[in-house]
Structure 1
Amino acid sequence: MDIRQQLLAAFEVEHREHIDAIRAALAGGADGRPPDWNDIFRRAHSLKGAARAVDLPPVEAVAHRLETLFERIVAADTALDREATRATHLALDRIEAYVADLKTTAAPEMPGDALAALDGRLRPGPLAPAAPQPVEAASAPSEAAPESKPEPPEANPAQSSGAEPAVDSTLALLRVPADAVEALTRATHELTSTLGGEGQVADGLARITRNAGELRRRAEASRERGPLAALARLLRGQGNAEAETALAAVRTELRALEASLAVFARETSDLTRRQAGAASAVESASARVRVQAERLALVPAESVFGGFARFLRETAREQDREVEVSVRGLDLPVDRAMLQTLKDPVLHALRNALSHGAEAPEARRRAGKPAALAITFEVAVRGGRLLIGVSDDGRGPNLAAIEATARARGLLAQGEAADPETLLDLVFAPGFSTASSVDTLSGRGFGLSVVADAVRSLRGSVRLEAREPWGTSLTMSLPLSASRRSVLLVEAGGATFGLPGAGVERLLRLDRAGLGRAMGRAVARIEGAGGAELNLPVIPLAELTGLPVREAATDATHLTALMLRSAGQRFLLAVDRLLDVRTLLVLPAPPIGADGKLFSGTVIQPGDVPALVLDPEGVAARVGETRSSAGTAGASEPPGDAGGTMPKARRSTILVVDDSITTRTLEKGILEAAGYRVVVCVDGQDALDRLRADIETVDLVVADVEMPRLDGFGLLKALRAQDAFARLPVILMTSRGDAEDVARGLDLGADAYLTKQKFDQRQLLDTIGQLL
């Protein structure tokens, strides 16, 4: 890749960072709190300088207008009006589209509407484009009006010294066809399977070595103590010299044979060691190749969904509608094939939100909503599943119109009652539409049908719900595919199954004689956190999967069990024996009828032996069904059950607030492994907006102290000032452990204050357990 291509690759990353930051800042100011205009101005200025450095005059011209507009906002200490906000989003969209087109076109065109819109907001005296300057030398100044604060372009030190600019080698990009990546991934799996045969070769060499040693010992014993020695004594007694001579020759041959066998044994032993070393090295290299190949198969969701927000804003402009689009989680790595399958369905869902959520401006004002329709697009992983959500604050589902359409199409019989959930399921039927006319966005009734068909083809589910206080939420839930996970392999009923390592809380060996009985089910008393005793049901895995239960498969006196916690339940899963813990590629589960909900995938063991991977949530659901059928309702549980065999059905939701993606990921992983539902925000302002939007019920907040825009102290103060959040438990976590900071946090109303230097996940979980 030449220097310009490297610079463009770096600019692609940098421009995305600046644009996302500007959009996030503008969105943060929608509820009355002004954005940080100084930071927005600096972002536009940096964007202009970066465009100048890579010689992109069209981008530089638009960024220059944005910079001037934001500078005037800073100087006047005011805010953008509606038209200026629309012009800003249009300009950002045009820059994004221009940079995206650079991948396929050497000199794409920049539409003039963004410049015109910005010039319209900068009157009197619209500004002409800033004078573009190449990387090596500045061009002659143009006749444009001078900037109010002229500044030199940000020069690269390496360029000013005449050297080539330093570019991170990780920015080198290479286009690889998707089918080539998939073929490479399959080849690495085949290589791994083939290398599994090396173990048989090693075992064969070891047997040869042992056999050679045994032959040598037998030859030596035969010469010294066996029948040959007895024959020698007999011949010496008879004085037969000729026979003794022949016997001596036989002994000489035996000694030569022993020496040859010794050499053979040493050589085979040495060959075995070398083969083991080579096999280990090849296996390690194969594992590295496999990991890298699978990394190619996993790409950020942004690679497929990245342009959807821009498309939605452009479509809204064409329809003369106002829309604010918020996007979260596009940095999440997802299987490339799954993303391609979901591309059209997700786009249909977004178009549907714009079409059916849009309201007249006066209707939104009467309802107390902002002028612009707010659409949120989120990609997340929770509980081992990929969740894609599209929500809006529009008019919400028209249940009466849905019911009328359903009855007219015969989906509901006349007189048949239908609850809201049933009605919302009907909208996924092909051709179902409540629109009175067909336009470019909707009306044909196939958009949500496409969504449902694609999600079901990936063994997922889709749900449409009404949001409170207004709007609609559509959620696609899909099993993660083509991901390597730590899998615990167990045996039950003569079959091998896998369990995701994160879904297993403890491994237990229970005394069969100590098990109790309750409502026809075995129950074990287990010591839980803090010394509390839990009465947990013991469910044989073989029974859940329809296989024969072996009461004493491996041990007549003890039982091997796994403690699982999922979907608000904690229970013990009895297995015949534990086999191994391995990191394996989890492939999609095969279609297996009604039991499909039990399984989330398939793994291939050495020797090409498949094993089904259990879905902890599906197992929990099946356990709940079996317990209900056995009459073990929660009200019948023994008193004093600290954790209960049936905790409350809804999992507690924890909001993690931290500007460090590493810290957010760590805390999210810890809390989800402990059975909590986790949502994340990047700073205090983001968290406050999400809580006020009432997207979901949050039971506890874990927040960092040092964050941009609104820090942890500010977030805590804002929450305690509102009746709705005055009693919401809040834990502050910070690297600052000064007594003054701790006192300040507690004075503001923090329920706990933990320092990161002494961070211990058990302390965090125990603190959360006490507060909840």
Structure 2
Amino acid sequence: MEALRQELLAVFEAEYRDHLRVVRDILAAGPVDGRGIGEIFRRVHSLKGAARVVERADIETIAHTLEGRLFGLLDGQRPVTAEDIAAIGTAMDQVDARMQDLAEAPAGPDGGEAAPPGREEAAGSYVQVPVSRLDALVGVMHDMMGIAERQERLWADLEDLTAAAARRTGPAADPAAELSRLTRALFALSRERGRIAGQADRAMMRLDEEVRAVTLVPAGTVFGSLTGMVRQIAREHGSGEVTVRLLGMDVRADRRVMQALRDPVIHLLRNAIVHGLESPARRQAEGKPAEPVLTLSVRMLGVRLLVAVSDDGRGPDLEAIAARAIRQGLMQPDDPCLPETLLSLVFAPGFSTRAEADRLSGRGMGLSVVAEAARALQGSVRMEAGNPWGTVVTMAVPVSRRQRTTLVVEAGDMTIGLPGRVIERLARVRQADIRMVDGRACFALDRRRGPESGLDAGAALVPVVPLAAFLGRPDAALPVHDGALSVVVLGMADGGCCGFAVDRMREVRILHISDAEAAGLDSELIPGVGWPRGDRPVFVLNPDTLLERWRMAGATGGHFDGAGDAGPDGGAPAARRVPIVLVVDDSITTRTLQKTILQTHGYDVLLATDGVEALALLHRSPRRIDVIVTDVEMPRMDGFALLDAVRSDPRLSRIPVVLMTSRNEEADIRRGLEGGARAYVTKQGFEQGELLDIIRGVL
């Protein structure tokens, strides 16, 4: 038990340092606005919850006191003053000093307080590794050592060949025979090098898989210790004894993902006690067990980890939620009170139906913290009424945050990644094999042999839809190239499958996935972005969301005109002109983001890095450019100069120009609009919908 406590203290030390660093950075940055106060509030609230877990009542008290002061600022009851800033800094110093005192206190002979491990030790967490996994790692290492030895022999053979060729030179040597001999030897060495390279690639992939598997830990190692804490919280709240059920504790996921979910799970359990539990008399009247039951369940669904906290209490009070939402301006009195809408409002910052705050329940920020934690993991959270009673809150997050084996394909102008584990089959289907069944394009797939030309009794009918139809182009047709379709078949939980047709399958590779934090991306469908090379990102799809949207569309998507590459008369297909947008910005990140947003919504996009390059493109491009979206601050020629050049050129003056820049001074806005810009958009408040509305308006 003492070892566990020391481990928790080590984790808490790293966590509190992170909270203090962020809060102090906000204070040092200058005037603290509402967003900064909100972030400080969230950090202090999380610090309070973590201090409770490790039984640091002194730090919990400091955080709770500061939380009360911040709550008034967060609600907009009064402005931030110098005294508030000083109070925040003092509280952070107090927390830091108390933690430093603990770190310096040596363990006494009577088993007193011991210093927690240092930062390096805290960072080096322990994981249990099955012997079979170690054996697999040892096997892969032996394979790699063998490959290294073969490479050494290959270099030795090449050196021998070079030395032999040098000895054979001379007047008596036959140049033709010597060249033939060297050519055969080099071909043999080249084939051996290719075999070694292939074996090395496969060994590296196996090594990567095994190493990543080591980082997967059972849910019980992170959540199993919460039972005692929850019971203690219930006693402090006056709820008496509660039954805590843990389900799915053997589910394995990335250790960092599990650790990131621990704090929001604690918030949910505390919230269930404060808001969900009922008196014994009421439980008896409703026929419930005498002892309340809290359940924490973990399960895997596709590539998503689902963590749910449920209780058997009174359930969500929809009337109280609606009343609170109206008071906070989150909805109007005449808005429809749909349960799903109301239950989504409980995750708003500062939302709570509780009239008073206490040391245990906090001040209504718990569910907001949960929502922020889920979004930070590129996940989601939802609340729903339990069956037959109670409340269920479920967080859904990606299983891993680091890297994933991915099939890279092209769909329209986008490069898309599909997680390899959900792919059942890759198929090349002839256009002639597509059949329309109940208004859906389908093909026959024998799961033993592949796509078949006939609808045999032993073959399954697989609906096929264009992947581009779910990437902002609902009118997309099936992409037929050279008389056939490239189809990725995804398996579903019920045993069925669906085929998504793509323009091209490029490769299978392990991508390092970063969070899709850029504005304008559909994070539910695209939770991550990989950058395998250059500035062309791979947008990694969530297959669960993709299949769900396919079902919501009626298990259809796009259309199949039966003509493929030919038009109705057998000639070239009738082309629907796509509007062309020229994006001008010296930031590669901004260019890539805007290009992705515009292409996703059906526009063709050309790129330029500054005004000089944009003008050259406008003059030499054989295609008609419909609108220009340009930054202002750029090298060589800025956005204002580009606007003047376009307006003064009779050939270009009709092209609408949209200025999109971080310069939001009134003088700059007036200068742009008076200079002929059709719109002026500031990047600080950039929203995808606004940009798209402006472009649609100027076309």
In the superposition, the TM-score normalised over structure 2's length comes to: 0.49
Highest Rg: 1 or 2? 1
